[in-house]
Amino acid sequence: MTDTAYHDLIGQDLHGVRRVIRSGAYRAHTAGLGRGFLQVNLAILPESHALDFMRYCQRNPKPCPLTGVSDTGNPMMFTMGRDIDIRTDVPAYNIYRNGKLSESVTDITDIWTDDLVVFALGCSFTFEDALQRAGIPMWHIDNNRTVPMYRSNIDTVPAGPFKGKMVVSMRAIPKDRVAEVTDISRRFPLAHGAPVHAGDPTEIGITDIAHPDWGDPAPVPDGHVPVFWACGVTPQVAIEAAKLPLCITHRPGHMLITDIAEDAEVPVLAPA
């Protein structure tokens, strides 16, 4: 069966989705799957860097909204789902060694060691859903592109070896709806919260909006304002720059789907 057929078939059956991903049969992106449930970015690091990375997330909650942290060496992400094995339950992973991408895989069982700590971070899917429900078109979604992302001149607050500029994503919003968009996205602090900037891109160090550093270019039509949100690529860049011996992330777009409702007050399951 093709990934597209699977996508339609498993659609909204949350545990079915994770079962098929765990089996290795589904390896594609997770946009639109398990709608209503929080999807998260992953960063898996050796415990020796975990405290500094956790401080980095606490100090930069807009680009790095921390939603879950595993026990050291325990691959079960028990605070975010009743049966999430982080070694198998993500469609695709990127393995970085000494700051360089070394391979992409669909299972990390062989790489897992008992000194690893898993960090889960909220992602933009959550607020994009909310904006679409409010009737704000998302051009990159409607046109099947990746949102444009830029390295801004905004400093993050450093922690240990983790530091660098904030990466931002851009969505063009009708002028008269920027305030509403700000209010809506502010309600999702675990999905980057309110925009960090609206208007002239040069004010945050972006000189050429037509050439994003990541993702695809997107138009800013007349009557629209470019609006910039803190982006989950920020911690990935900080991790790469820190040149850790080993770091495992999800492959972009290939998220972990959790059991946490998108509108939950806190992203934590009560003890079973």
CA distances from 235 to 42, 70, 77, 119, 171 (A): 10, 18, 20, 11, 20
Residues 81-120 that bind its own copies (CB under 8 A): 117
Q: Which is nearer to its own copies, 60 or 169 (CB)?
A: 60
Among the listed residues 7, 55, 165, 224, the single contact to its own copies using CB under 8 A:
55
Q: Which is nearer to its own copies, 105 or 264 (CB)?
A: 264
Beta bridge partners of 168: 150, 230
Among the listed residues 134, 157, 179, 241, the single contact to its own copies using CB under 8 A:
157
Closest distance of CB 10 from its own copies, Å: 29
- Interacting span for its own copies (CB under 8 A) from 52-60, 138-146, 205-213, 252-260: 52-60
**Cβ(37)–Cβ(262) under 8 Å?**
yes
Q: Which two tokens stand for residue 85?
A: 């094995």
Residue 156 is given by DSSP the state: P
Among the listed residues 1, 12, 36, 58, the single contact to its own copies using CB under 8 A:
58
Q: Is 88 exposed, middle or buried (0-12, 13-18, 19+ CB in 10 A)?
A: middle
Residue 165 as a binder of its own copies (CB under 8 A): the answer is no
**Cβ(77)–Cβ(237) under 8 Å?**
no
- Interacting span for its own copies (CB under 8 A) from 37-45, 141-149, 153-161, 236-244: 153-161
- Interacting span for its own copies (CB under 8 A) from 8-16, 54-62, 204-212, 236-244: 54-62
Closest distance of CB 59 from its own copies, Å: 5
CA distances from 268 to 36, 80, 81, 225 (A): 15, 6, 8, 36
Residue 22 as a binder of its own copies (CB under 8 A): the answer is no
Residue 158 is given by DSSP the state: P
Residue 50 as a binder of its own copies (CB under 8 A): the answer is yes
Residue 265 as a binder of its own copies (CB under 8 A): the answer is yes
Query: Binding pattern to its own copies, positions 190-229, x when CB under 8 A?
Result: ---xx-----------------------------------
**Cβ(22)–Cβ(89) under 8 Å?**
yes
Residue 161 as a binder of its own copies (CB under 8 A): the answer is no
Q: Which is nearer to its own copies, 79 or 94 (CB)?
A: 79
Q: How many residues does the chain have?
A: 272
Measured CA to CA, the distance from residue 127 to residue 111 in angstroms comes to 33
Residue 43 as a binder of its own copies (CB under 8 A): the answer is no
User: CA 24: distance to chain centroid?
Assistant: 21
Which amino acid is present at 239?
Answer: I
Contacts of 109 (CB under 8 A, 6+ apart): 87, 88
Task: Name the nearest CA neighbour of 118 among 264, 272, 246.
Answer: 246
Residues that bind its own copies (CB under 8 A): 47, 50-51, 54-55, 58-62, 66, 68-69, 71-72, 79, 117, 155, 157-160, 186, 189, 193-194, 265-266, 268, 270-271
